[in-house]
Structure 1
Amino acid sequence: MSRICELTSKGVMVGNNVSHANNKSKRRFLPNLVNVSLMSDATGQSYRLRVSAAALRTVEHRGGLDNFLMKSKNETLSQRARLIKRQVQKALDKENLPAA
């Protein structure tokens, strides 16, 4: 499983460990990923995603998973998150249609 956030595409970064003697050795900076279940208000379903802690805070700040997905660009979302976004968009469109 790759270490990439499904909502923000935040991934592994590389850098150097620098000793007191200024010796440098390569190291990896891993994102703080957590497995969470996020509830969608529009579809009424719960989705299991692997997101970074920062993305989880952003989801709460924007008012839930639905609002986060609608405001985010498709390029930053994973394939699964794009599928969820389409499902949410379809559910929101269905709610806003006037009765025939």
Structure 2
Amino acid sequence: MAKECLITGKRPVAGNKISHAHNKTRRRWEPNLQWKRVWIPSENRFVRMCVSTRGLRTISKLGVEAALLKAKKRG
């Protein structure tokens, strides 16, 4: 399973960790992903999805079906 939010599309990003002595080593910033069980009224069932905390806020604001439609349009 890729570490990607199904709603917002957030993925890990890479960059440099810089020490006090200014040594540079590669590192990754992971998105804050949570497994959530979401009720979809139109399908009358629960769906388990991996979403970021920002994605959870989007679901709360728009509703589940509107958020999924927006995500489908995004790709």
Alignment TM-score, normalising by the size of structure 1: 0.67
Larger C-alpha radius of gyration, 1 or 2? 1
Give the structure with the higher percent strand: 2
Residue ranges of structure 2 left out of the alignment (5+ in a row)? none
Tell me the distance in 1 between the aligned counterparts of 2:41 and 2:73. 23
RMSD (Å) for aligned C-alpha atoms:
1.5
Tell me the distance in 1 between the aligned counterparts of 2:47 and 2:71. 19
Residue ranges of structure 1 left out of the alignment (5+ in a row)? 78-100
Cα deviation code 1:21-74 (max 9, x no counterpart) = 211110000111111011112222110001111101111011x2112123x153
Tell me the distance in 1 between the aligned counterparts of 2:72 and 2:43. 19
Tell me the distance in 2 between the aligned counterparts of 1:3 and 1:67. 23
Runs of 4+ displaced beyond 2 Å: 73-77
Verify the 8 A CA contact 2:8 2:54 in the aligned structure 1.
no
Correspondence for 2:64: 65
Correspondence for 1:21: 21
Aligned length: 75
Higher relative contact order (CA 8 A, sep 6+): 2
Give the structure with the higher percent helix: 1
Alignment TM-score, normalising by the size of structure 2: 0.86
